[in-house]
Structures are given as structure tokens and as C-alpha cells.
Structure 1
Amino acid sequence: MRTKFLSFIVFLVVLNVANAQSIQDLMDQVNTANLETMIKELSGEEVALINGTNQTITNRIHSNNDLATTYIQEHLEALPNLNVEIQNFNSTGKNVIATQLGTTNPQNIYIICAHYDSVTTYCADDNATGVAAIIEIARILSTQCIDNTIIYALWDEEEIGLLGANYYAQQVADETGGNTRDNILAVVNMDMIGYDGDAPGTAGDNDFDIDVRNIANSLTIKDELLNILNTYTFDLNPIVVDPGTTASDHSRFWNQGYSAVLVGESWETNDQTPDYHTSNDRSEDIDLPYMTELTKLVLAYTATEANLIAIDNTVTENSTSLVSNESTGSYQWYNCDTDSSINGATSQTFTPTTDGNYAVEVSNGSCAEISDCVSFTVLSIEEFTSNELRIYPNPVASILKVENYLEADLRITINDISGKEINIINSSLPNINVDFSSLPKGVYFINFITERKSSSYKIVKE
């Protein structure tokens, strides 16, 4: 496992695809509908697309959960920036491990995890809820550049002795034979996060447990979670349980001297699902708003500790162009419909010439992020008349003169014959000089754009 991780450090290319900039932005992206769908698919209450076909996960009992393993693997492999591996630890046990490498301190590791095996059919709360939360957090955080490494781990065979987590914890702590102990700074385990005794979706106490013990820096994790609760707005009431339970996967990291906590519904106040370990544990009993709050909490904690790198990958759209909101770095615009880069479109501003969906990749040092695809419609607007705009001489040897009779607020772009943007000028002066002297001989296009009008002219540089 350690050898693969080090190889990943060497060969990973950082590429991100989303649009959140602050931790609150990221929290706002947690999608309750996504959580509900994954719970129903993992519990077998709805069919799921697996291996390209609609299939039903009939159960997740460790001896018959290969379909669930593939479901989780495919969901994580569909995300950017994740190296996903299946860790086989015995003849039937399979952990699914997804690593998002930190760009600055890849050796600093934060793990968020849940077990995916069950004891019988359905088992929506135990623990399809935890699995759904981990995948949803990965969906959002995998789009961001981070300083430290995040590992999203889904354990197998928890229900028969915490075997998957135990194997992994022993491997990363192993210092024999020249191995180096992995620098895991925190483990947050999500086990049963969907039941609150109040009617689902109604106001109530929203108690949840943070199970912790004074092992390594586990108490610090607890304090950091409480600080997140006080920093942002949550509808949650934490119950700190110390000494916390050892009956879930986090305890196997305690055994190896690592810092870890459990986050889950409140067994401490006897507010756990009454259908624990039965086939009556169904999605209809999940309090989705409550579960969403817990998912946001762990996401916010993880994003804070991973330390987001500040790149603004959002896009502003106006009537004629798309503008990257990141003011520094390099840019590459993409046509989302053809999944290809646009030749020469490497400026902060991009003016599409055809309707379509477009995105921009912003690079800054070792980190790059891509915006969401933005749907853009090229407006059919009126062209300038000869009484409003005049350009001369054409062909041009040096200076192209523009007479802006109405003193309109013009955005002027110059493109070469391939479409590459050469220059941008913004002016409302009545007389504008456009310098072509440094450009090679050839054909160019000069575009004049206002909110209401647009004209393009072919210019020959001689």
C-alpha cells in the first residue's frame, strides 16, 4: 500500500473541476438529493447503474457485497484528482481507498471513512448513510486544490470484527523492514449518521455523538469539530463521549497510536435507530436534513484541515463574453460539448462565436482548477453602421484608426486567422489608434462589441 502511495505522489497531475471558493461555498454544495439517492441505491431500495447496466444491490453482507464495492469504486473513479484502489486484505475483504494528493504537504494525511458492509438486507442507516456522506464529500472536495492529502476510505468487514480498518491501520503504522509510518494526522469515522428520534425533517434536538479518547491528538480533533460548529451555522447539538466507543473502525487507528474520532447519531442519549442490525433499517426512517448537516460538518472540518489553495475558478458571464474571476495565473478555455481545448483561447476573457457550453482552466503554480461548464448563447445583435463606426486603412501597415462617432463604450478584440486572441482594448474615445506594427503580416479579425451592437472586420496586415 505504501509503495503505491509514493508512486502516486510522483505521477499525479493536479486537475480540478468545480466552482466553490470558500468553505461555506463548499458546504452549500452538499446535495441532500444526492445523499438520498445513494442511500436508496446502496440499500437496494432502488436500482443503480453499475458496470454500465441497471442492477440492484441485494445486500452488502461481506460474503456477497462485490456489487456494492464496484458501485463505490465507480463513483469515486468518476471524480477528478482521486487515485482509487481496491485493497484486498483477505479472501473476501475489500477496502476501497481514494487518495487526493496535497500539492504542498502530500505527506500530511487526513482520512475520512465509513464501513460499507452490512449484517442483512437494506441497512440504510448502518451504514449506507456514512458511505453516501463520504462519496458526497469526495465529490465536492476532489474539485479543489489542497495543501494536505485527503484519503476517502470505505472499509469492508466492519460487521465481523472491524477487519478492513484494522488491516489498513496496521499497514500504515508498520515500521518494520525499512517502512516509514504514514503521517496520518486525523481520522474521522462516520458510522450511522442518519437517525434522529424526532420525525424526519422536523425540528428537534439533533443530537449527535463525537466519540473520542485521549489518544495521540484525538481530543484536538474533537475541539476542531466543535470550533467548526461555532464558526458556521449548523442545526446540530454535539454530545462529546469520552471515553468513546471502540465498536467502530476509528478504534483500530487508536490501537496504532493515531488520532481519531467517531461522528454519528447519538447512542449516548439512546437516540439511535430502533431498527439497528435488522432488515427494517430502511431509507424512509432517515432524517435527511439531519444527515445533511453532519455531512456538511465533516466536509467543513476536512476542507479546513486540508487547507484549500486560493484559486477562484468561477466565471462571470456577460452579454458578449465569459470572464474568469481569477485575476492572476494562466488560462485555457474549453468547449465542454466537444471535451476539447479551444486553440488560442488563453486569456482571462473569452468571447464565444457559437452557442455552446464552455469552461476555463485556471493554473497557478502547481495547482489548476476548471470551472463548471457555462451555457452561453451568442446574441443576435445589431451591427454598427458606417455612421457609427469607421476603420481605416485596410490593409494596414502600422496603425489602424478607429472613428467612434457615438463615443460608444467599445470592447475591441483582435484575433489571428486561427482565432487566437491577440489583444483586448476597452475605450470610449472618439478616435482610437490600434497598433498593428508588431504583428506579423497576415489576416486578422478585429471585433467591436457593446451591449447592443457587435461588428467584426477582416484586416490585412501588410
Structure 2
Amino acid sequence: MNKLTTFIVMTFLMSFAMSAQTVSDLMNKVSQDTLTKTIREFSGEDQATVNGSTVTILNRQSANNDLAANYLIEKLSKYNNLTINDQAYTVTYGSTTYNGRNIIATQLGKTNPDNIYIICAHYDTVADYCADDNASGTTAILEIARILSTQCFDNTIVYALWDEEEDGLVGSRYYANAAGANGDTILGVLNLDMMAHDSDGDNDFDIDVRNIAGSLTVKDDILTALTNSGLNLNVNVVNPGTAASDHAWFWSNGYPAVLMGESWFNNDETPNYHTANDRFSDLDMDYFTDLTKLSLYYIATKGSLQPIDNTVTATVSNISANQPGATYQWLDCDNNMTVIPSETGQTFTPSSNGNYAVEVTVGSCVEVSSCVNFNTLDIDGFNKESIEVFPNPVTSKLNIKIPENIHKAMLSIVSIEGKEVLKKPIDKQYIEVDFSPFSNGIYFVNIENEGRTLSYKVVKE
């Protein structure tokens, strides 16, 4: 192995040897690029794709927001471990009848499924765009769901996106009333509403709370999350806090809840509140990213991560799942997460460069790793394109030709049943292998060089 190869191998090992996730690890996966893309699409600044069509979600007023609701469903449906409920409702409050759609994604707890924590935001508006109110809260929910849906939790997490907040908190009222009537065990509600404007750059944010049903404990848990996260944010606790957002109906039903968002307490809310001038250009994305991180830190802590490791370690020759004693299925990230047939071991040896992930199952918990880029098969020219294995099918003699610069390679031939029928060193550029003693069938011809293995399927006739 030459010096360049040694450097590449060491860099690869250092870059992809990962440890089990912590809440801090998950918090640091919040991507400002992803937040920016989503909030621009959802507020109508950029086009989006919904059900295969290119669209612009310019207006999300309750009478005109089916496109927005469909966008949310499509986003959430891509994530693991979530059950999506398009909660359409028709309800009469007072003399007015309302029709709306709450979009609810439930991540069922593996140990205490009846213990529920809700993180929520309203997605409807009163005008076009409305980036801060409340594409910001909606985008934060989508980003948190994207990250946490890769994990298993002891408790249930509900990602809720309410309709008709602007019409009088209708969607959340409908849900909270039903939960109260059903006796649901909701242990905490974090409502995100307007969380991306910070004109003076002081990083202040508000927690609105009242001494109702343990809501002060939710507030204290967020303060603990702020301390433990190390984020550069400054909190204003507003008590008694406003009841003018979706947390209010959880208070009314005896559930602990708080509102979190930009600092109305310091008069630092968006100046374009409830107008079509509430645009992406007014947002502080660094501030918004940190508030999203804090929200994730809180809800992941309360969800209680199960100790399952879905990370991987990659070397120059293979990728290994770090979780022992599990069931594994390797996936091709470059082909829409397609299952790779027969690749169900803890260690996977790719036959070509690309991006790969592993699905790890322990009991009822199913987690999927991040995709890992594997691109070392062409180091020193050791790749499938540089090695010739022919003819295929073979009747008697199989020819193998390897590049001149490959030394000390090892050949092994394994039957479809997993029995190794031949193993020998390859000590020259061109060799012949006598297949005539072998029974007809499928064989795997494996060529190993300096910790890297290439595998060829050969048919004996």
C-alpha cells in the first residue's frame, strides 16, 4: 500500500467511525440548509413538488390550504416510524361551522406508548407568504420529525400541524377536546408559533406559561434543555403567558402546555405580522436554527431515546453496523433506499462505489442509519472494471485477470449454499481456475486485496 493509499484509508476510518447517538448528536443534525429550503417552499418563495406536480404554495388560508396540507403529508410520509393521520374535521363552535385538516404524525413509544408528548405548530395563515407566522413553526416540526423519526423512543411523540389557528384555534381545539374526552395521557405540549424573527440580534425568545396542569414543569424542562444544549439563546419566561395560540385549548382540557417563539415580551416580533410582507427576507436563520435545535433537544429528551445504535463504521473494504445482536438489511441510498438482496449481515462489502445505509431491527424497534458514501473501491485501480472474470457461464476453465499493480490478492470461491470450495493466493496477473470438479450451479468468486473484497457471481453449467 503506497503512502497516498495509507493516507486515504486513515482519513476514511477517522471520518466514518461513529458512536451511538445522544440527544446532542441528534440536535446537531438540524440543518440550516434544510430549514431554508423547506421554509422557502412552504411560504411560497420557491416552487415545491406535491404529488409529482411543480406548484407554488403562495397562500395557506384555511379555505385555500389543501395544497399546503398535501405538502405536509408528502413530507412526513417519507420518514420512518411515523403513522400519518390526515385529520379532516367538520365542527360547529357557537354559530359557526368549520371545516379543516389537522396533519398528525405519531411516533409510537416502544415502552410507554400511552405516554404522549406533543410538539406542534399551526400551518394556516391570514395572507400570502407568512414566512414567520407560521411557516417557521411548521418547518421546525418537519425538520425535527425528519431527524427523530430515525430513532426509537420509550414514549410516544406526536408531531401535530394545526389548521384554522387564525380562525380561532379551531384545529387544536378539536384535537385537544377529543384527547380530553378520550382520556389521553398527554404529558407535555410544546407549541411553536413565530420563531424566526430577531431584529436586534439579542437571541431572546419567550416561553409563555401558566400554572396549569404541570405546565410550569414543561417550562422547567425546556430551561434544563437550554442549559444542557449549550445554545446561545436567552429566555424570557412570561407568566401568565398568552392564550392566543394553540397551546390554550390543551390548558382548557387540563394538559400541561407552553408556547415558545420569538420575543413579543421585548416587542421584537415581526413587524409584518398578519400581512403579505411577512417574507423570508425578514427572517434570522441562525436564530431560527437554534430555536429548532432547542425544540428538538426538549422533545427528544422527553421522548426518552432507546439505546439502539443505528450508526455505522466504514473501512476501505466494507461498512459495518455498530449495533450488535440485531437484524440487518442494507439499503441502496442512490436507488431510493432499495433493499440490497441477500445483504443481511452486520457487515456489508459493497461491490461498487455509492451511498449505502442499514436498517437495524432490535425487537420492535426499527432504525435506519444515515447514508454513508463508499468510494474506495478504485484505490490503486482495484475495482470491478479493472478485473476480468470470464467466461460466464463457465463449463470448465474460469479465467481471472487482475491489474499488474495488484499484489498478494487472495481468491476464494463459495457455493450458493455458503460452502467455500476453493481458496488460493493469486500470485500472477493471469490465472485459470478449473471449475470442472464443481457441481452445476451458482458460485461467488471473491478476490481480496489489502482488506478489500470484490465479489463476482458466476454460473457453472
TM-score range for the pair, normalised by the shorter chain length: 0.7 to 0.9
Partner of residue 181 from structure 1, selected from 158, 180, 183: 183
Change (3 A) 1:412 1:365: farther
Match of 2:222 in 1: 225
Match of 1:127 in 2: 134
Residue segments in structure 2 that go unaligned for 5+ positions in a row: 1-17, 91-97, 383-407, 421-438
Match of 1:58 in 2: 58
The worse-fitting range, judged by mean Cα deviation, of 339-348 and 182-191 is: 339-348
Match of 1:75 in 2: 75
Match of 2:163 in 1: 156
Match of 1:98 in 2: 105
Match of 1:24 in 2: 24
Determine the C-alpha separation between the residues in 1 that align with 2:32 and 2:357. 26
Change (3 A) 1:340 1:285: closer
Would the aligned equivalents of 1:358 and 1:376 in 2 still touch at CA under 8 Å?
Answer: yes
State the Cα deviation string for residues 432-460 of structure 1 (Å, max 9, x = none).
xxxxxxxx9998768574537768899xx
Match of 1:375 in 2: 373
Q: Which amino acid aligns with 1:60?
A: R
Q: Which amino acid aligns with 1:109?
A: I
Q: Superposed, which structure 2 residues align to 1:431-446 within 5 Å?
A: none
Determine the C-alpha separation between the residues in 2 that align with 1:43 and 1:24. 29
Partner of residue 306 from structure 1, selected from 303, 322, 330: 303
Q: Which amino acid aligns with 2:206?
A: D
Residue segments in structure 1 that go unaligned for 5+ positions in a row: 1-17, 175-179, 199-203, 384-409, 423-439
Match of 1:211 in 2: 208
Would the aligned equivalents of 2:351 and 2:455 in 1 still touch at CA under 8 Å?
Answer: no
Match of 1:196 in 2: 198
Shift of residue 352, structure 1, vs aligned partner: 2.3
Shift of residue 93, structure 1, vs aligned partner: 1.3
Q: Helix, strand or coil for the counterpart of 2:99?
A: coil
Partner of residue 347 from structure 2, selected from 346, 349, 370: 349
State the Cα deviation string for residues 352-373 of structure 1 (Å, max 9, x = none).
2333433222222221222223
Change (3 A) 1:147 1:119: same
Match of 2:433 in 1: none
Shift of residue 20, structure 1, vs aligned partner: 7.2
Change (3 A) 1:413 1:314: farther
Q: Helix, strand or coil for the counterpart of 1:122?
A: coil
Would the aligned equivalents of 1:343 and 1:419 in 2 still touch at CA under 8 Å?
Answer: no
TM-score by length of 1: 0.78
Would the aligned equivalents of 1:381 and 1:452 in 2 still touch at CA under 8 Å?
Answer: no
The worse-fitting range, judged by mean Cα deviation, of 35-44 and 344-353 is: 344-353
Determine the C-alpha separation between the residues in 1 that align with 2:224 and 2:115. 21
Q: Superposed, which structure 2 residues align to 1:277-296 within 5 Å?
A: 277-296=274-293
Determine the C-alpha separation between the residues in 2 that align with 1:192 and 1:457. 56
Aligned-residue CA RMSD in angstroms? 3.0
Determine the C-alpha separation between the residues in 2 that align with 1:326 and 1:412. 29
Q: Which amino acid aligns with 1:309?
A: Q
Q: Which amino acid aligns with 1:196?
A: D
Q: Helix, strand or coil for the counterpart of 1:184?
A: strand
Question: How many aligned residue pairs are there?
Answer: 391
Change (3 A) 1:150 1:456: closer
Q: Which amino acid aligns with 2:244?
A: A
Shift of residue 337, structure 1, vs aligned partner: 4.5
Shift of residue 234, structure 1, vs aligned partner: 0.5
Determine the C-alpha separation between the residues in 1 that align with 2:285 and 2:214. 31
Does residue 89 of structure 1 match 2:96?
A: no
Would the aligned equivalents of 1:102 and 1:150 in 2 still touch at CA under 8 Å?
Answer: yes
TM-score by length of 2: 0.78
Determine the C-alpha separation between the residues in 2 that align with 1:411 and 1:366. 42
Q: Which amino acid aligns with 2:194?
A: M
Determine the C-alpha separation between the residues in 2 that align with 1:140 and 1:168. 25
Does residue 360 of structure 1 match 2:376?
A: no
Would the aligned equivalents of 1:19 and 1:313 in 2 still touch at CA under 8 Å?
Answer: no
Determine the C-alpha separation between the residues in 1 that align with 2:87 and 2:123. 14
State the Cα deviation string for residues 267-309 of structure 1 (Å, max 9, x = none).
1111111111111111100001001111000101111111111
Match of 2:41 in 1: 41
Would the aligned equivalents of 1:347 and 1:421 in 2 still touch at CA under 8 Å?
Answer: no
